[in-house]
Amino acid sequence: MLREVGAEVGPEWLTRLSPEEWIRRGLAELSRAEKLLAAHDRSAAVLSLRRAAGMALNGALSVSFRDWGRTYVEHVRAVATDRDVPEAVRSAALLLSSVELEHQPNIVRLTPPSESARWVDAAKTLMAHAYAVVHGSAGRRRP
């Protein structure tokens, strides 16, 4: 089911939380992701970073709907190719969505701190863009 989101039409599931609450949930997930990185749980951390960014992007979608898919990961992938968002945001989305996850048993990939810091920065960039959209300083579509 679709509903009005400002001047846009968006899915009803976006109303489950307020835009600000989506941002807060994303921040909580970001904290969880950072703890997973500190514990060297690379795959879980990357998934959590994508989730954090996607949650925040739900906040942006709830005030300015775009068809970025339903899941958090779909949101991040869609932002990577959306010409209506700033280049820095697209680049961050591309970086975060392109991190390879290992699914090989008994193999541990060591991740340099500088690499994981880039992932965290990418998630924060996406979240900052979502915050700016929610609070009206960027990303809203003009009538």
pLDDT tens by residue, the chain, 143 residues: 334 445 455 788 888 899 999 999 999 999 999 999 998 888 899 999 999 999 999 999 998 889 999 999 999 999 999 999 999 999 999 999 999 876 655 655 666 667 889 999 999 999 999 999 999 866 555 44
Number of alpha carbons in the 13 Å side-chain half-sphere of residue 44 = 13
Please indicate, yes or no, if residue 143 is contained in any of the structural domains: no
- Does this model's pTM top 0.75? My answer is yes
In this prediction, residue 110 carries a pLDDT of 60
Reduce the DSSP state of residue 106 to 3 states and report it.
coil
Number of alpha carbons in the 13 Å side-chain half-sphere of residue 107 = 6
Domain count, the chain: 1
Please indicate, yes or no, if residue 107 is contained in any of the structural domains: yes
Read off the tokens for 131.
């915050």
Please indicate, yes or no, if residue 66 is contained in any of the structural domains: yes
